[in-house]
Amino acid sequence: MTIHLNQGHIAALIIALAFFIWMGAGSLSDDAPFENPRPLVMDSGLTRVQVERMKGELVNRDITISAHTAANRRVELKSEIRGKVIAIHKDKGAAVKEGELLLELDARDWPARVKQAEANLQQRQLEARSARQLSERGLANESQLAQAATALANAEAELTNARIQLNATKIRAPFTGIVDQRMVEIGDFVKDSSPLLTVLDFTPFLVKGQVSERDAADINIGDTGFAELINGDRVDGRVRFIAAEADAKTRTFPLELEISNPGGSMTSGLTAKLHIPQPATYAYFISPALLILDDEGQLGLKGIDEQNRVVFRGVNLLKADNKGIWVYGLGSEANIITVGQGFVEYGQQVEPVYMQDTEISAQPEAPKDDADATALSAG
């Protein structure tokens, strides 16, 4: 019986034969690289995983935070009494000095009340003096002396209240700064607690932001930093405040960078990028596929210790590009499982198959300056 093969049959046979030859060659080769993602279980009972001896490269780390400029102090001046606005001495945007008169309210009869209270106080002082003299001669009892002292105290209180009310008609700057807002005009009638003016202090001024809980531990009061403003300016300063307690909603810590502003020309609310340079640290270039999370949500990698037991190695993100990511927190070198990490548990002893030692310098160049080493966790 004759079998006739067409070109399609011949091509299929050739492909099948080549496939079997390739499979046989792969199984016979002892030098084939360890690429099977599912680890082998050796005769010893240990799981075989691929491990890479990684060496870090020192880079300058930089904590970067989304921030904004703010005044050192901001006070909204409110009326302490009811009255009509009769004079405005400083308009919006005017520079003022501490104690300078900004606005006046109608004093009404308070000047006369002050004079009345002063006269009443003088009378009560004379009466109290006379009562003491009579008491010393035995001509006045203790009750009369106490009544004179009470009347004197009431007179002093009335004079103090009258002076406070009169002083409240003159609104003065609480500190040297700038009048930012004015809410009233001449002729307006204001009530108690009515807002009148807002005064800002920009000497120094602040750059405020929220730092993540991961980076907060690396920042201390007094650390130097700088801010890049939206207009392109760079300003240098120092950390003057970092909260001791995280925000309950965002789990971030408020932070303030103090900037010298001798001219007092800075404005509040400008968008800024806040940088807090950190000491040099060892960084590693890895594939994002190696990253895992522990039970507490900490980012890390699976590695092995000196006894070849699987351990969790926590890391922090430093920089990312289209080829991979840079992480830090592993020290100068680390043994990291690169194949088979999904099939082994923490504490399990394994049989490592080491790749050829590869220094980080063979990977893409590490970030060298503060701008390139921007942390991904900017808050």
Q: pTM to 2 decimals?
A: 0.65
pLDDT in tens, 206-236: 999 999 988 898 999 999 999 999 988 899 9
pLDDT band at residue 309 under the 50/70/90 scheme:
very high
Task: Tell me the HSE value of 272 on the side-chain side, using a 13 A CA sphere.
Answer: 29
146 φ, ψ (degrees, to nearest 5): -70, -35
Supply the mean pLDDT for the chain: 83
Query: What pLDDT was estimated at residue 22?
Result: 46
Least confident segment among 41-50, 66-75, 102-111: 41-50
Question: What is the spatial distance between Cα 189 and Cα 83, in angstroms, rounded to a whole number?
Answer: 6
Q: Which two tokens stand for residue 358?
A: 């590869």
Q: Which residue has the tokens 């390139």?
A: 372
pLDDT band at residue 162 under the 50/70/90 scheme:
very high
Query: What pLDDT was estimated at residue 5?
Result: 46
For residue 113, pLDDT beyond 80:
yes
Query: What pLDDT was estimated at residue 62?
Result: 87
Query: What pLDDT was estimated at residue 322?
Result: 79
For residue 29, pLDDT beyond 50:
no
For residue 40, pLDDT beyond 90:
no
For residue 9, pLDDT beyond 90:
no
What mean pLDDT do residues 305-330 have?
88
What mean pLDDT do residues 110-124 have?
94
Query: What pLDDT was estimated at residue 211?
Result: 94
Query: What pLDDT was estimated at residue 367?
Result: 61
Q: Is the CB of residue 180 less than 8 Å from the CB of residue 94?
A: no
pLDDT in tens, 239-273: 999 999 999 899 999 999 999 986 666 788 899 99
Q: With helix as H, strand as E and coil as C, how does 173-236 read?
A: CCCCEEEEEECCCCCCEECCCCEEEEEEEEEEEEEEEEEEHHHHCCCCCCCEEEEEECCCCEEE
CA proximity to 343, closest of 74, 16, 37, 14:
37
What mean pLDDT do residues 316-325 have?
83
pLDDT band at residue 289 under the 50/70/90 scheme:
confident
Could you report how far apart the first and last alpha carbons of the chain are, in Å? 81
84: helix, strand or coil: strand
Query: What pLDDT was estimated at residue 376?
Result: 40
Torsion of CA 15, 19, 25, 26, to 10 degrees: 140
Query: What pLDDT was estimated at residue 364?
Result: 56
- Tell me which of 270 and 22 has the higher pLDDT: 270
pLDDT band at residue 73 under the 50/70/90 scheme:
very high
242: helix, strand or coil: strand
Q: Which residues on adjacent β-strands are paired with residue 313?
A: 301
